[in-house]
Structures are given as C-alpha cells and as structure tokens.
Amino acid sequence: MRTTAALAGLALAGLLAGTTQAADEAAPHPLLQTIASDVSPAELKATITRLVAFGTRHTLSDTQSKTRGIGAARRWVASRFAEIGKHCGHCLDVETPEQMVQGERIPKPADLMDVLAIQRGTSDPDRYVIISGHLDSRVTDPMNATSDAPGADDDGSGSAAVIEAARVLSKYKFPATIVYAVLSGEEQGLYGGKLLAQYAKDHHWQVEAVLNNDIVGNTNGENGVTDATHVRVFSEGTKSTETTDEASRRRYNGGEVDSPSRNIARFISGIADRYLTGFSVRMVYRTDRFSRGGDQVPMLAAGYPAVRFTEAIENYTREHQDVRTANGIQYGDLPEAIDYPYLAQVTRLNATTLAALAMAPAPPPSVKIEGAVTQDTKVSWTAVPGAARYRVWWRDTTAPFWTNNQPAGNATTLTLKNTNIDDWFFGVSSVSADDYESPVEFPGSAGAFVPPPPPPAPPK
C-alpha cells in the first residue's frame, strides 16, 4: 500500500508533469492487470522466429511456395489466428481482404492481402477498435523481392504484438469489436493500410481507434544510446479530413492539439502510467516520424482516429538494410537485435489499451461549449449507449494533458461555475457502470471521434 507521503508525491508529480486523463480516483481494473501480466515475451519470440524463417516477406515475393515468401507467411498468420480462435469457442472470424494492386513500387499487378481476426463485441459490435502491424519486409532496394529480408523489427515486432494481443484478449468478452490486423504492402506504399481503410468503409465500421505498431522491439541505437522504458506514440494534431471551414473555426477557437487521435494518445499515456511498471509513453505531436509514413496514415485519411507506436530509439543499421557485415558492423533486421521484454511492455500497453477502449462506452458525440461573455461555461453532449455517467474535463490552453475534471452524473450537460470559457480547453468522457472510461472528446468537429453528418446538399 502506498503511504500518504508517497501518494502526495505522486499527486505532485502528476501536477508537475501535467497529469494524464486516468488520474482520477477510480481503482485500477483487475481485468486490465491480468491482461498485462498474461503477455509473454516467449510467445513474441516464437512468432518473430517463425516469421523470419519465411526468408523474405516482401510484398512482391513468392505467393505459392509453402516455405518462403509473403504467401506462406500470410497463410501462417491466418492459421495462427484460427488456432487462437479454437481456444475461445471460435470467437475470432478470420478475414483476408485481397486486391490486385499496381503503383510506383509495384510495377506489375500484385496480389495484396491483409489478414484480419475479428472478435465481435457483445453489446456494441458496430464500434471497432483496431490493432495493426505489417507483415511485409524489405532490404536496401525496396524492389528486391528475393534476398533474405528477415524484418524482425520492421515489422515482425508489430505483427507479433498483434498476434499476442489476439491470444491474450480472446480469453475475454468485450462490448465493442476488436480487430487484429496483420497488413501487407506497407513498404511499397501503405497499400495494406489503404485496403484496411476501404474494407472498414465497405463494412460500415465505426472505427474509434487504430493502434498501429511499426518498429516496436529494439532498444539500442547504433550511436550507443539505449532506452527500454519508453515507447513513442505519434498522433496528428488536427484531422487529415478537416475541411477549410472546419480549419478556419478551429484556428480561431482552438483545437489544434485535440484531434481524436491526440486524445487517444493521452488515453494511452494514462494507461501506461496506471498499468505498467517502469514504462511510459513519450507523446510525439506528429502524425509519424519526420517525413516518414506508416499504415495509420491511410486510416487517418479515411477519417478514422489512429496513432503510431514506435520504439523510443530506432537502429538505422537494422532497418531497410541488406543483411551483411561491413567494417565490423552487422547490418540487417535480424531477430537477435530484438529486446523481447521490451516488446512485451509495448504489447502490454496495446492490449490493456484495446481492452480499456472496448470495455468503455464510446466517447460522447456532439460535444458543445457555450458561455461567451459570462463567468460560467456550459458543456453539453449527446448520450451514448452503455454510458452510466459522464465526466467533464478541462485544462489550461497550454497544458499537454487533461488536468481537471468534474463528474456530471448521467446528465448530458454540466455548467462549470466561475470557469471562464475563454481561459480553458474542455472535453467530455463517458463512463460505464463498471467504471471503464472513454477517451476525452474535444468539442466540435476538431475533436469529434465520429464525424458529424455532411450538411444537406443545396436544393437543385
């Protein structure tokens, strides 16, 4: 048990750091603690070892061989999901959306396939939370589809995290649907992410969050810097899909650091603080690493909130390199460089976040604030299925994390007395009867998780 002094210290640290969303007084959920403890470094290692054994998983590699290439690898992933599904009374539907694609790095039409395992929600099955990683790998030349491309970290690590999340979470039932997505074609131009976005649109998924994991298993930089206690979470500040009118309103009233993706990143940071020991999130206020991309990008372009997880320290002698030694340096994305206890921490963070999101209600839609030229601020929102109550959050306009909150009961409006609308950013979360809380939604289109319906077309 914590002493009072330690508690006071914790509260002070929270204040100084700008405390995270989960800093309210509710006790940690035993379910999430169990999920975190079930994630196994040995399972992650077994998966990466198996993936590396396919030689290359380049998107344009052999699709027919039983032992080598992307075809054998994706069939193995599908069979692994099916095997996991057997242990939960066939709770996973394995889907393999497929498309012939051609483009800059795909000169001839190629057969692209994503492998998805879908765990249907019990009471809110149309709401989706997604974890993704990419199966395809590459060497120095992005068009080389035959050389060994082990892709242990990029992105065997993310694929292994997805499969391990499926193994651990499929033991439980959740109100919302969870999708475990192992994508292809990332290195050729984010084709697998585009295919997933199209599949989600075609099936009318209400996607609340995408957790994309790409390069999440290394802790040693080639410069000697190491970090095994942080993961970077990249999130866009403003929506990729923002219209000119929305951008203009947002510039005036604020919201440039409160997209739904950013509030998911804050939520993840809070989960790390609460459920992981010696491990925390380094939030990066960018869509991805500088001028680089990942499969969360096409999901954002489709209007779905999404973030990217990447290890704190990348090793550039490992990524996108022919396997070789030169001047005594080992190049290539080999499995011996993976830090499995670290990858397990990243996977724990993903699994507990997915479970927390899928257990909680959706964030309340249509959040609105009113109160100009009065001393009070009225916050209102629309009720959401599964919410027993709501919580209004606010923070200083320059603060990175939500700092203040007030319970609103089951009402859909709350007036904060003597809290001037000009001076704070506001948001609302929804809370289930069993105390699972959603991410905070910032008011208006800038913060909306579900885009408001388009205005009616003008009469002809």
Sequence-distant (6+) residues with CB within 8 A of 146 are 56, 58, 61
String of contacts with Zn ion for each residue 196-235, x by CB under 5 A:
------------------x---------------------
Selection from 391, 371, 394, 373 nearest residue 381 by Cα: 391
Give the residue with the Cβ less far from Zn ion, 310 or 377: 310
String of contacts with Zn ion for each residue 234-263, x by CB under 5 A:
------------------------------
Give the residue with the Cβ less far from Zn ion, 38 or 319: 319
Q: Kindly state the smallest distance separating residue 300's Cβ from Zn ion, in Å.
A: 16
Give the residue with the Cβ less far from Zn ion, 208 or 311: 311
Give the residue with the Cβ less far from Zn ion, 132 or 261: 132
Are 79 and 71 in contact by the 8 Å Cβ rule? The answer is no
Q: Which residue has the tokens 């942080």?
A: 230
Looking only at residues 439 through 458 of this chain, which bind Zn ion when binding is defined by CB under 5 A? none
Give the residue with the Cβ less far from Zn ion, 62 or 155: 155
Give the residue with the Cβ less far from Zn ion, 274 or 320: 320
Q: Kindly state the smallest distance separating residue 136's Cβ from Zn ion, in Å.
A: 8
Sequence-distant (6+) residues with CB within 8 A of 135 are 51, 57, 70, 73, 74, 77, 115, 155, 159, 182, 183, 184
Q: Kindly state the smallest distance separating residue 49's Cβ from Zn ion, in Å.
A: 19
Buried b vs exposed e over 107-145: b needs ≥16 C-beta within 10 Å?
A: eeebebbbbbbbbebeebeebbbbbbbbbbbbbeebeeb
Give the residue with the Cβ less far from Zn ion, 189 or 443: 189
Looking only at residues 343 through 382 of this chain, which bind Zn ion when binding is defined by CB under 5 A? none
Q: Kindly state the smallest distance separating residue 291's Cβ from Zn ion, in Å.
A: 15
* Residue 154 within binding range of Zn ion, rule CB under 5 A: yes
* Count of residues near Zn ion by CB under 5 A: 3
Q: Kindly state the smallest distance separating residue 339's Cβ from Zn ion, in Å.
A: 17
Q: Kindly state the smallest distance separating residue 59's Cβ from Zn ion, in Å.
A: 12
Give the residue with the Cβ less far from Zn ion, 84 or 152: 152
Give the residue with the Cβ less far from Zn ion, 66 or 292: 292
Distances (CA, A) of 396 to 19, 22, 419: 12, 17, 11
Q: Kindly state the smallest distance separating residue 85's Cβ from Zn ion, in Å.
A: 26
Which bin fits 372, alpha (ψ -120 to 50), beta or left (φ > 0)?
Answer: beta
Q: What count of Cα atoms within 13 Å lies in the side-chain half-sphere of residue 280? A: 10
The stretch among 20-28, 119-127, 153-161, 237-245 that binds Zn ion (CB under 5 A) is 153-161
What is the C-alpha separation between 185 and 189, in angstroms, rounded?
6
What is the C-alpha separation between 3 and 413, in angstroms, rounded?
37
Q: Kindly state the smallest distance separating residue 155's Cβ from Zn ion, in Å.
A: 4
The stretch among 49-57, 62-70, 150-158, 173-181 that binds Zn ion (CB under 5 A) is 150-158
Q: What count of Cα atoms within 13 Å lies in the side-chain half-sphere of residue 147? A: 16
Cα 29 → chain centroid: 20
Cα 140 → chain centroid: 28
The stretch among 3-11, 99-107, 154-162, 388-396 that binds Zn ion (CB under 5 A) is 154-162
Q: Kindly state the smallest distance separating residue 229's Cβ from Zn ion, in Å.
A: 22
Q: Kindly state the smallest distance separating residue 213's Cβ from Zn ion, in Å.
A: 9
Q: Kindly state the smallest distance separating residue 108's Cβ from Zn ion, in Å.
A: 23
Are 347 and 164 in contact by the 8 Å Cβ rule? The answer is yes
Q: Which residue has the tokens 């309103």?
A: 249
Of the residues 136, 155, 242, 258, which one makes contact with Zn ion according to CB under 5 A: 155
* Residue 311 within binding range of Zn ion, rule CB under 5 A: no
Sequence-distant (6+) residues with CB within 8 A of 378 are 369, 370, 371, 413, 414, 415, 416
Give the single-character DSSP code of 54: T
Pairing of strands 377-380, 413-416: antiparallel
Give the residue with the Cβ less far from Zn ion, 32 or 216: 216
Give the residue with the Cβ less far from Zn ion, 114 or 154: 154
Q: Kindly state the smallest distance separating residue 215's Cβ from Zn ion, in Å.
A: 6
Sequence-ordered alpha helix ranges (H) in 236-284: 244-253, 260-275
* Residue 288 within binding range of Zn ion, rule CB under 5 A: no
Are 82 and 182 in contact by the 8 Å Cβ rule? The answer is no
Give the residue with the Cβ less far from Zn ion, 177 or 315: 315
Cα 454 → chain centroid: 26
Residues that bind Zn ion (CB under 5 A): 154-155, 214
